[in-house]
Amino acid sequence: MKLDTLELLGHSSESVLGSNDRLELLLTTAHILVIDDEPMNLTLITGMLHFAGYRSVTTLRDARELEGRLQSGHPDLVILDLHMPHRDGFDVITALQPWIVAEHLPVLVVSGDISADARRRALALGARDFLTKPFDLTEMTLRVRNQLETRLLYQDVRKQNRALRETVHGRTVELEETRIEMLERLAMAAEYRDDNTSRHTERVGAVSAHLAAALGLHPDEARLIRRASALHDVGKIGIPDALLRKPSRLTDDEMAVMRTHTTIGASILGGSHALLLQLAEVIAISHHERWDGMGYPRKTAGADTPLVGRIVAVADAFDAVTNDRPYRRALSLRDGIGEMAAHRGTQFDASVVDALLRINSTLDHHTI
């Protein structure tokens, strides 16, 4: 069985999110494929998965048989060794890329290769996570569940997109609201992986709305920006946990992967007729652009970057420096304001930084 069976059963992750029923459905419907040339490893991993309650687990010792196995059905998660005879894990990830891209198929690499090059290469090819051998069984179980939860949420969003294309005009507004709610939950899931408090998006939305008001935008526009900006990092759902929670600064290769969250987010949010999601798409693709043109992904400069993107860029960076991150401690609000002012006119739009200085006294991350 596959996770799509949830739809046939009349269930969605929305209706059972956080419930025991949802976990039971996940355990009974998710299909996991384990690829490793070592029988002992296959026995260990499948035993751990069965002990955790997963009913549908299949194994493959010879990776050359992958395509034939896929003809009988696609898995919901692939657990993959890297170094195997005849066909290595890198080639397997490459072969799986059509499903990784089109179906958000998660690949969890489990390898004895601890080299940084192996990790970078696997993640760059499309693996969602990387675990080194010997591994902790509890950690393995949690990572497997996290990848399946993410895939389930992603499939719900795809289902909403499909329903939107097929529905009559009279139901468009209702379905868009449902899609917005699913995207907001997807954004919360992505944020929880990067911020244990899951309040980063909430704070960025509040500061963005204050900035919009200070810049003279209509209150309705400020409220819309507050809600849309909460989706700015939804693309991080496609970034491996190993990068999101890395306790040190990212390498250049890892940063290149991390930066794809902007285009992933815009892709997830795109194609909507709802003004909120259209605005959220613009924010997702533009909130890491810089005033001097040295940002990403499009390297737009000055006013070529939409105002909402420039607003959220300041709000996002301000929240980042004034809250703890895995690789550094938070600055005080006063020092955070100073940090923003130091990049006025280079990284950030001077008018937006000036607006931040004007609302300085109203900012309190405990009450936003």
Q: Quick one: 29 and 68 in the same domain?
A: yes
* Catalytic annotation present for 133: no
**Is residue 303 exposed (0-12), middle (13-18) or buried (19+ Cβ within 10 Å)?**
exposed
Tell which of 121, 149, 177 closes a domain: 149
CATH assignment at residue 65:
3.40.50.2300
Q: Characterize the bridge pairing of strands 107-111 and 77-80.
A: parallel
Write out the DSSP string of 214-275.
HTT--HHHHHHHHHHHTTTTGGGGGS-HHHHT-SSPPPHHHHHHHHTHHHHHHHHH-S---H
pLDDT tens string 146-169:
888 888 888 777 777 777 666 655
Domain membership flag for residue 297: yes
Please give the Cα distance from 234 to 185 (Å, whole number).
Answer: 9
pLDDT tens string 222-265:
999 998 998 898 888 888 888 888 888 889 999 999 999 999 99
Q: What's the pLDDT score for residue 28?
A: 81
State yes or no: pLDDT of 5 exceeds 50.
no
pLDDT confidence bin for 290, thresholds 50/70/90: very high
Q: What's the pLDDT score for residue 171?
A: 61
For residues 268-284, give the mean pLDDT: 88
Domain membership flag for residue 105: yes
State yes or no: pLDDT of 4 exceeds 60.
no
Please give the Cα distance from 213 to 239 (Å, whole number).
Answer: 33
pTM of the model: 0.57
Q: Quick one: 269 and 352 in the same domain?
A: yes
Terminal-to-terminal C-alpha distance of the chain: 44
Residues 6+ apart with CB under 8 A from 50: 57
pLDDT tens string 98-147:
988 888 899 999 999 989 999 999 999 999 999 998 888 888 888 998 88
Please give the Cα distance from 147 to 107 (Å, whole number).
Answer: 8
Q: Quick one: 144 and 178 in the same domain?
A: no
pLDDT confidence bin for 17, thresholds 50/70/90: very low
Q: What is the mean pLDDT of the chain?
A: 84
Which of 2, 133, 159, 236 is catalytic? The answer is 236
Q: Quick one: 40 and 120 in the same domain?
A: yes
For residues 313-321, give the mean pLDDT: 94
pLDDT confidence bin for 190, thresholds 50/70/90: low
Q: What is residue 59's three-state secondary structure?
A: strand
pLDDT tens string 77-95:
999 999 999 999 999 999 9
Please give the Cα distance from 12 to 314 (Å, whole number).
Answer: 36
Q: What's the pLDDT score for residue 324?
A: 78
CATH assignment at residue 350:
1.10.3210.10
Q: How many domains does the chain have?
A: 2
Q: What's the pLDDT score for residue 330?
A: 85
Q: What's the pLDDT score for residue 104?
A: 86
Please give the Cα distance from 226 to 206 (Å, whole number).
Answer: 6
Domain membership flag for residue 201: yes
Q: What is residue 66's three-state secondary structure?
A: helix
Please give the Cα distance from 289 to 317 (Å, whole number).
Answer: 12
Residue 3 per-residue DSSP state: T
Tell which of 114, 149, 184 closes a domain: 149
Q: What's the pLDDT score for residue 22?
A: 62
- Closest Cα to residue 201, out of 189, 213, 214? 189
Q: What is residue 363's three-state secondary structure?
A: coil
Please give the Cα distance from 279 to 228 (Å, whole number).
Answer: 6
Domain that holds residue 232: 167-362
Instruction: Identify any residues that bridge with 132 across adjacent strands, giving them in sequence order.
Output: 111
Domain membership flag for residue 355: yes
Q: What's the pLDDT score for residue 67?
A: 93
Domain membership flag for residue 220: yes
For residues 60-79, give the mean pLDDT: 92
